[in-house]
Amino acid sequence: MMKTITQQLKALSADGRVKNVIICDFQPYGADACQNCDGMGKVYVWLLTDGPFDNPPGGKKVGHWINGKWWTGNLFGDTCPVCKGSGKNGKV
């Protein structure tokens, strides 16, 4: 399923330094969980700004292993635009 993100996350994703955007998936939290946020009430994206690298990044950067390469970036989250933060079946 294609996930819907907020305008704020779209704007952050459009930053010229962002090389790749990964929308986070989670194990759905219950049978009535919103399919967009998996019941979390928030949608999270990794905005990857450096990479791909063959080796894990050093220093204080957090590395992410994606498709056989290492990336670094930041995690951002915002209220799910489908369920408005309730985490339930796309309903408030």
Is the separation of the CB atoms in 46 and 75 below 8 Å? yes
Chain segment 1-31, per-residue pLDDT in tens: 789 999 999 999 999 999 988 898 888 878 8
In this prediction, residue 91 carries a pLDDT of 52
- Higher pLDDT: 61 or 49? It is 49
Cα–Cα distances (Å) from 39 to 1, 20, 49, 73, in that order, read 14, 25, 28, 24
Look at the alpha carbons of 18, 21, 22, 23 in this order and tell me if their dihedral is positive or negative.
Answer: positive
User: Residue 43 pairs with which residues in a beta bridge?
Assistant: 78
Quick: pLDDT tens for 62-84: 888 988 999 999 999 999 999 99
Q: What is the mean pLDDT of residues 52-63?
A: 86
pLDDT of residue 45: 93
Residues 33-53 have pLDDT tens digits of 999 999 999 999 999 999 999
Backbone angles phi, psi at 11, to 5 degrees: -65, -45
